[in-house]
């Protein structure tokens, strides 16, 4: 993403947060649809770890890659999600599979809150930009 | 400390109460069972719960906030019910039959409590959600 005075790092961070929340939503929805699948293992991403991962890889990319011969930070994509993201198998064996429906439903909602928070922050950031454009054009 | 930790805590409460319901259902289903794999009548089972710290060990609040988890399922060692029923194949030589130590009233009471606790956790989730959404509206 372009960086400078207008598009600050906050945009990049929020973009990543939304990306991770989206990916998590997919995984949790998958878990819920497989609530009756025998031996199914629930999957999830630890939001905090994924976020730290995404930000860290971006940082080290900018700081350390002074030569083409340098290796990438973690071998995966800058986004941390599009690469081989840190998807973990979670859940507890319930005698049938590894999905606990109440846990998954709550996680779905928790993730939804994260998504809404990130989009809200993004909207407000854009509102500030709009304000600057409007006031500056007078 | 995660700002959405309350969801995970409430989820553990939901799960524990639902598992408690499993055990209550087992007790109710076997209220008249006189034959088990171990021999003898069915023994009433109980869930033992323990508190589980939610977050990283270094964070103070995360250590204090605890979710619930099932520690063990134990058997109730109180004596079996003894009823006189000489025609039953499992009756002893004096005609007495040992029946499970499951008390219907106790099970029903526990069932109501599990249900209410489940609902309380749902209410907590709902409130947390509303609080987060309201916080997002600050300054709008």
Are B2 and B55 a contacting pair, CB within 8 Å?
yes
Average pLDDT score over residue span A66-70: 58
Domain count, chain B: 1
pLDDT at B140: 80
B12-22 per-position pLDDT tens digit: 999 999 999 99
Out of B10, B18, B132, the one facing A113 most closely (by C-beta) is: B132
At A89, the pLDDT band (50, 70, 90 cuts) reads confident
Q: Tell me if chain B has a CB within 8 Å of the CB of A24.
A: no
pLDDT at B127: 95
Whether residue B11 and residue A106 make contact (CB cut-off 8 A), yes or no, is yes
Buried/exposed B69-102: b ≥16 CB within 10 Å, e otherwise: ebeeeeeeeeebeeeeeeeeeebeeeeebbbbbb
pLDDT at B5: 84
pLDDT at A31: 94
Whether residue A106 and residue B8 make contact (CB cut-off 8 A), yes or no, is yes
Query: Is B121 domain-assigned?
Result: yes
Average pLDDT score over residue span A104-128: 93
Domain that holds residue B61: 3-33+49-77+102-138
Whether residue B15 and residue A110 make contact (CB cut-off 8 A), yes or no, is no
Query: Is B59 domain-assigned?
Result: yes
Q: What is the mean pLDDT of chain B?
A: 91
Nearest CA in chain A to B3: A114
Lowest mean pLDDT across A50-59, A86-95, A106-115, B23-32: A50-59
> What's the complex ipTM?
0.74
Characterize the bridge pairing of strands B45-53 and A87-90: unpaired
Length of chain B measured in residues: 140
- Residues of chain A contacting B129 with CB distance shorter than 8 Å: 109, 113
Query: Is B54 domain-assigned?
Result: yes
- Residues of chain A contacting B124 with CB distance shorter than 8 Å: none
Report CA torsion sign: B75, B76, B82, B85.
Answer: negative
Nearest CA in chain A to B1: A48
> Which A residues in the span 57-116 are in contact with B, Cβ-Cβ below 8 Å?
100, 102-103, 106-107, 109-110, 113-114, 116
> Which B residues in the span 14-73 are in contact with A, Cβ-Cβ below 8 Å?
14-15, 18
Query: Is B91 domain-assigned?
Result: no
Average pLDDT score over residue span A18-31: 94
Name which residue leads in pLDDT, A99 or B3: A99
- Residues of chain A contacting B12 with CB distance shorter than 8 Å: 103
pLDDT at A75: 43
Q: What is the mean pLDDT of chain A?
A: 80
pLDDT at A2 over 60: no
As a whole-number percent, the residues of chain B with pLDDT over 70 amount to: 92
pLDDT at A62 over 60: no
Name which residue leads in pLDDT, B74 or A82: B74
Query: Is B58 domain-assigned?
Result: yes
- Residues of chain B contacting A48 with CB distance shorter than 8 Å: 2
Rounded distance, CA B68 to CA B139, Å?
36
Query: Is B95 domain-assigned?
Result: no
Out of B4, B11, B129, the one facing A102 most closely (by C-beta) is: B11
pLDDT at B58 over 60: no
Query: Is B18 domain-assigned?
Result: yes
pLDDT at B99 over 60: yes
Which phi and psi angles does B32 have, rounded to 5°? -120, 10
Distances (CA, A) of A123 to A20, A130, B136: 18, 10, 11
Nearest CA in chain A to B2: A48
At A74, the pLDDT band (50, 70, 90 cuts) reads very low
Long-range contacts of B115-118 (CB under 8 A, 24+ apart): B115/B17, B115/B21, B117/B13, B117/B17, B118/B13, B118/B14, B118/B17, B118/B18, B118/B21
At A95, the pLDDT band (50, 70, 90 cuts) reads confident
pLDDT at A77: 41
Q: What is the signed CA dihedral for B52, B54, B58, B59, rounded to 10 degrees?
A: -130
Query: Is B85 domain-assigned?
Result: no
At A55, the pLDDT band (50, 70, 90 cuts) reads confident
pLDDT at A128 over 70: yes
pLDDT at A112 over 80: yes
Name which residue leads in pLDDT, B120 or B64: B120
Whether residue B8 and residue A100 make contact (CB cut-off 8 A), yes or no, is no
């Amino acid at each position: 993403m372009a960086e400078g005075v207008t598009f600050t790092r906050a945009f990049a961070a929020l973009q990543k947060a939304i990306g991770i929340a989206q990916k998590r939503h997919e995984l949790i929805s998958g878990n819920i649809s497989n609530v009756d699948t025998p031996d199914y293992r629930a999957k999830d991403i630890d939001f905090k770890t994924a976020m730290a991962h995404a930000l860290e890889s971006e940082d080290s990319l900018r700081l350390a890659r002074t030569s083409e011969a340098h290796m990438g930070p973690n071998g995966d994509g800058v986004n941390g999600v599009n690469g081989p993201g840190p998807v973990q198998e979670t859940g507890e064996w319930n005698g049938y599979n590894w999905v606990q429906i109440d846990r998954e439903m709550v996680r779905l909602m928790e993730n939804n809150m994260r998504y809404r928070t990130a989009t809200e922050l993004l909207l407000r950031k854009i509102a500030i930009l709009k304000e600057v454009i409007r006031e500056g054009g007078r | 400390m995660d700002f959405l930790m309350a969801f995970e805590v409430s989820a553990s409460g939901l799960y524990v109460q639902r598992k408690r319901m499993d055990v209550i259902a087992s007790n109710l289903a076997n209220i008249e069972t006189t034959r088990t794999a171990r021999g003898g009548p069915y023994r009433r089972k109980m869930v033992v719960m323990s508190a589980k710290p939610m977050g990283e060990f270094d964070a103070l609040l995360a250590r204090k906030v605890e979710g619930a988890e099932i520690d063990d399922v134990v058997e109730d060692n109180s004596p079996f019910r003894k009823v006189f029923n000489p025609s039953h194949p499992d009756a002893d030589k004096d005609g007495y039959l040992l029946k499970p130590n499951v008390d219907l009233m106790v099970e029903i009471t526990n069932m109501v409590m599990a249900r209410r606790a489940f609902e309380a956790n749902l209410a907590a989730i709902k409130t947390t959600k509303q609080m987060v959404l309201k916080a997002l509206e600050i300054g709008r």
